[in-house]
Amino acid sequence: MKTTRNLWTAAYLALLLALPGAQAQTIEAVASPFYNAPFRDSSGSLLNGAYVSVGSFGNRTASDVVSLFSGATTASAVGAVLTANYTSLLTPVAVNSSTFSIYNSDGYAPDNLLDFNNTPLYSVVAKQLGADLFEIGIFAAYDFTRSGSAGSYVYNRGSQINFANLNNELGVDTIRFRQAVPAAGGAGADALAGFGGASSTGFQLSSVTSTVVPEPSSASLMLLGSAGILALRRLRKNNV
C-alpha cells in the first residue's frame, strides 16, 4: 500500500501543531463496547498505547484527502501534508484500550472554530511501535444503513457526515467507530484508502515504516511533554 511506505513521526508533530485557542466542548470520538467493533493495531492485536484526534481537512471529501497524500513518499512529506491540511479540533488523547470514549478534555479548539462547520468529520489515530515503525489510521464519519436478514446483514455506507454543532456548546459532534448499525441506520466510520481498515466487526491501523529515524523516545516525548504542548499551542494560536 503506497501510503504505508514511510512515516508518522512528522505526522505526530502535525497533530500537535493543529492544537488551539478558544473554548468549546463539542467534539467526541467513541469506540464503544456496545458497538462490538474494537480497534486493533496493524498486527490484529487489540489497540493499546495510541493517540486519537478528531478534526477537519476543510471541505475535502475522503477521496480528496487520499489524493493529498499521493505524492507523499517521505516521512517529512506525510507530516507536511497533515500540517498544511488537517486541523485537530480535539486535543490528541492517549488511549490504552481497544474501545474508548474521548472528548475535549481541556476545552481548547481553534479561534476560528465556526469555520469548520459543514466540513467533513475525520479522526486521525496514531501509534508508535518503535524507533522507526509507526501506525496510522485516518477515518471519516458516514451515515450507514443495513440491508439483508439476520445472519447475513449487509452494511451500506452512505454520505459523509459533516460537523454541524460547532456553534452550540450544547451540541456534540461525534465520530462513532462502528458500522453494524440498527435497522433504521445510523452514524459510523470507515477508513480512507491506504490509511487503516474498517468493517462491521472492527477497525484497524496500518503500519508505516519511517525512512527518517528519530531517537527512540522522541515521538512520545513530543506528544507527552507538557512544555512542548503549551509552546505548540501558543504557536497555533498565533497562526490562526
Q: List, for residues 56-88, the tens digit of each pLDDT value.
A: 999 999 999 999 988 876 656 666 788 889 988
**Of 95, 83, 94, 96, the residue nearest 55 (C-alpha):** 83
Q: List, for residues 30-52, the tens digit of each pLDDT value.
A: 999 989 899 999 889 999 999 99
What is the structure's pLDDT at 150?
Answer: 85
What is the structure's pLDDT at 126?
Answer: 87
**Of 136, 144, 173, 195, the residue nearest 55 (C-alpha):** 173
The answer to whether residue 222 scores a pLDDT higher than 60 is no
Average pLDDT of the chain?
76
The three-class DSSP label of residue 51 is strand
What is the structure's pLDDT at 212?
Answer: 42
* Cβ 59 vs Cβ 119: under 8 Å: yes
The domains of the chain are located at: 2-239
What is the structure's pLDDT at 107?
Answer: 61
- Of 21-30, 78-87, 145-154, which has the strongest mean pLDDT? 145-154
Q: Is 151 exposed, middle or buried (0-12, 13-18, 19+ CB in 10 A)?
A: exposed
Q: List, for residues 91-118, the tens digit of each pLDDT value.
A: 888 999 999 999 886 666 677 888 899 9
pLDDT band at 228 (very low <50, low <70, confident <90, very high): very low
Q: Over pLDDT 70: what percentage of the chain?
A: 68
Sequence-distant (≥ 6) Cβ neighbours of residue 145 within 8 angstroms? 155, 156, 158, 181, 185
pTM for the model: 0.79
Q: List, for residues 165-215, the tens digit of each pLDDT value.
A: 887 554 689 999 999 998 889 999 999 998 899 999 999 998 765 544 333
Chain Cα centroid distance, residue 224: 18
Q: Looking at the chain, which runs of residues are DSSP E strands?
A: 22-23, 27-31, 39-40, 50-56, 87-88, 93-95, 100-103, 108-109, 122-130, 133-147, 154-160, 173-176, 186-191, 197-199, 202-204, 206-209
* Cβ 163 vs Cβ 176: under 8 Å: no
What is the structure's pLDDT at 97?
Answer: 92
Instruction: Name residue 17's amino acid.
Output: L
Phi, psi of 203, deg, nearest 5: -130, 150
The answer to whether residue 123 scores a pLDDT higher than 90 is yes
CA distance 36 to 200: 8
